[in-house]
Amino acid sequence: MSNTLETASGPLVYDVVGRGEPLLLIHGWGCASLPWHPLLTRIAPQFRCIVPDLPGAGRSQPVAVPPDMFVVRDILIRLIEQEGGPVHVIGHSMGGALALLVAAERPDLVRRLVVTAISLFRNDRERTQFNVAMAVWEVLFRLRRRWMMNVPALYHALGRQFLRRLPDDDTFTRANFIDFLELDRAAAIRTARSATDRRINIAAGRITVPTLYIAGRYDRLMGERGVATTAAVLPNAKLVWFEHAAHLPQVEQPDGYAVLVSAFLHAALRLPAITHLTSPSDHFLPGESDPEPLSSILQTTVG
């Protein structure tokens, strides 16, 4: 069921799917909520999933005032309150940073937290490099045209930035590319440029709720050193490496991802500081109430 929260930035359109404990899913930059769909089909029977398109993405347009990440944080807090929080929160990439901001600002509204494919900036050099990259992206945004959705070479090129391997079926890759083509340029750029704000690192160090941190070994956007730094900043977070995934483990290995986050959110899984999920396939779905079979596809290293 689609709903709308009116904000000063424009409408925030979101879906509510499933039943059970409330769970907010926050998507990353450069897309809308589509990358959550594989997870939704697997966990909606266990959770009432609240799935927004962030301002300027997907259906959350037009944008009246382009927001930065801190404005989006406040919008998400309003959404949680409207939907009767507290909630569990899963955030991906930039959505992971937003999840940290929400949990640090309003820990009373967050039960458990999962952040996926996120890397905090380690120094000013990285922030400068990011700003240079965003200047390039701003040019690319101006070059977008609708006809590009029909050029496989273009949506394959973008897909390879996020996926270890492109799926045989182009449905997801093309649909995600269309969401990119339809992003509000001003909202996307302003939100991304605020990602270098040092307050995000400060917020990460203030997290008090149980936290699961998921990273893909083949994620070229985050990098292993960035993951290590982020894991060290997050208080008492459990790090799980998906050894056969890149930037979108919830898309590349949706069964394993769903099993893991469901067990964590139900507080039914004990993990050491660092865990390696080594199965290259998704042929391992334990029963909803029994996460124990997950141990058969985990190799754990205490760090």
Query: Which strands form 211-216's sheet, in the order they lie side by side?
Result: 2-7, 10-17, 47-52, 21-26, 87-92, 110-116, 211-216, 238-242, 274-277, 298-301
Closest CA to 73 of 54, 92, 56, 86: 54
Q: What is the pLDDT of residue 83?
A: 96
pLDDT digits (tens, 9 = 90+) for 207-230: 999 999 999 999 999 888 899 999
Q: What is the pLDDT of residue 277?
A: 82
Contact residues for 265 (Cβ-Cβ < 8 A; gap 6+): 21, 23, 47, 88, 111, 112, 114
pLDDT digits (tens, 9 = 90+) for 74-125: 999 999 999 998 999 999 999 999 999 999 999 999 999 999 999 999 999 9
Question: What predicted TM-score, i.e. pTM, was given to this entire model?
Answer: 0.92
Q: Which helix (H) or strand (E) holds 170?
A: none
Residue 117 in tokens = 């494919």
Q: What is the pLDDT of residue 281?
A: 57
Q: What is the pLDDT of residue 290?
A: 35
Q: Give the residue ranges of the chain where pLDDT is below 70.
A: 279-303
Residue 43 in tokens = 């966990």
Q: For residues 4 and 48, what is the distance between their CA atoms, to the nearest angstrom? A: 17
Q: According to DSSP H, which parts of the chain are helical? A: 37-43, 69-82, 94-105, 124-143, 152-160, 171-181, 185-193, 198-205, 224-233, 249-252, 254-265
Q: For residues 285 and 291, what is the distance between their CA atoms, to the nearest angstrom? A: 9
Domains contained in the chain, CATH given: 2-301 (3.40.50.1820)
Q: For residues 121 and 126, what is the distance between their CA atoms, to the nearest angstrom? A: 6
